[in-house]
Structure 1
Amino acid sequence: MAKRRSILLIDDDRGIREVACTALEMVGGYDVSTAASGTEGLDKARTSPPDAIVLDVMMPGLDGPETFARLQQQPETADVPVILLTAKTQAADRTRFTALGVAGMLAKPFDPMTISNEIAAILGWDR
C-alpha cells in the first residue's frame, strides 16, 4: 500500500482549518496536520516536513508571504511545495503571489468537495 501524502494546513481561522482538514482527510485521503499561525507552521514543517503546505495569505503576525519566505530559507522545507489559500483573487494579487514562487493558489471560499482535486492538480499528484 502506498504511503498517504501529507499536507500541513496553516491558517489562523479555526473554522477554515476544521473544514479544510476534514475535506482533505475524508475526501482526499491525505494525512493532514494544522497550524494556527505562521510561526507554529514553521516549527511543524521543520520538525516533520510534509509533502505539501497549504498556507493562508492574511494572518496576524507572520503573514503567508513572510511565512513562505522563511520556509524557503529552511533546508528542511525549501523544496516543499506551497499553495497559497487566499481571498485576494484580483489579477494584481495573483501576479504578486505567483512571483513569490509558490506552487499555486486556491481561492477562498473553497469547495470542500473539490479542494483535494484542486491541490492534486496544482501539484501533479495522481488522484
Structure 2
Amino acid sequence: MTDLVKVLHVEDDPEILEISGMALTLVGGLDIVQVDRGEKALDVVADFNPQLVLSDMQMPGLTGAETIAAIRKMPQFQNIPCVFMTAKLLDGGESIMTHPQDIGLIPKPFDPMTLADELRALWNSQVQQAA
C-alpha cells in the first residue's frame, strides 16, 4: 500500500489555512502545498504532483468542485482522489461527491489533532478499493 505523503490544500479562509497547515505538517507529518484559490491550485498542481487534493467547497472564483474538475482534465490527474471540506452539508454531502475519486467529506469545524489521520484513513480506504 502506498502511504499518503503529498497533499494539495485549497482553502480561501486564511485562519483555516494556517490551522490546517500546522495540523497536516507538524501534527500529521505530511508534505503540503497550500493555496487560497482554485486558480492558484491549477498553477501549482503539476509541479507539486500531489497524491490527494483537500479542497474547500465554497471559494471566490472557482469553487472546490470546479477546481477539482479542472485538475482532473489534466491527463496525469484524471483520477486524483479528493477530499472536500465544508461548513455547509445540506444533504449529507451526497451532491458534492459526484466523481468516483471524491473519497470523503470533512465538516468544518474540524479537529486539527486528527485531520491528517482522517485524510490517511480516507486515502487508505481508497487505495484498498483500487487494489
TM normalised by structure 2 equals 0.86
Q: Give the C-alpha shift of residue 3 in structure 1.
A: 8.3
Q: Give the C-alpha shift of residue 43 in structure 1.
A: 1.4
TM normalised by structure 1 equals 0.88
2:93 partner letter? R
Pick closer, same or farther for the CA change 1:3–1:96 going to 2, 3 Å: closer
The C-alpha deviation readout for 1:85-123, integer Å capped at 9, x for no partner, is 111223x25110122441111111110001111101111
Aligned to 1:18: 18
Q: Is the 8 A contact 1:27 1:113 kept in 2?
A: yes
Q: Tell me, which stretches of 5 or more residues in structure 2 are unaligned?
A: 126-131
Give yes or no for the alignment of 1:110 onto 2:110: yes
Aligned to 1:113, the other structure's residue is in SS state: coil
Aligned to 2:95: 96
2-structure distance, mates of 1:87, 1:8: 19
2-structure distance, mates of 1:117, 1:42: 26
Aligned to 1:48: 48
1-structure distance, mates of 2:24, 2:69: 25
Percent of residue pairs identical: 32
Structure 1 segment 49-88 matched on structure 2, within 5 A: 49-88=49-88
1:10 partner letter? V
Which consecutive aligned stretches of 4+ in structure 1 deviate over 3 angstroms post-superposition?
A: none
Of 96-105 and 34-43, more deviation after overlay is shown by 96-105
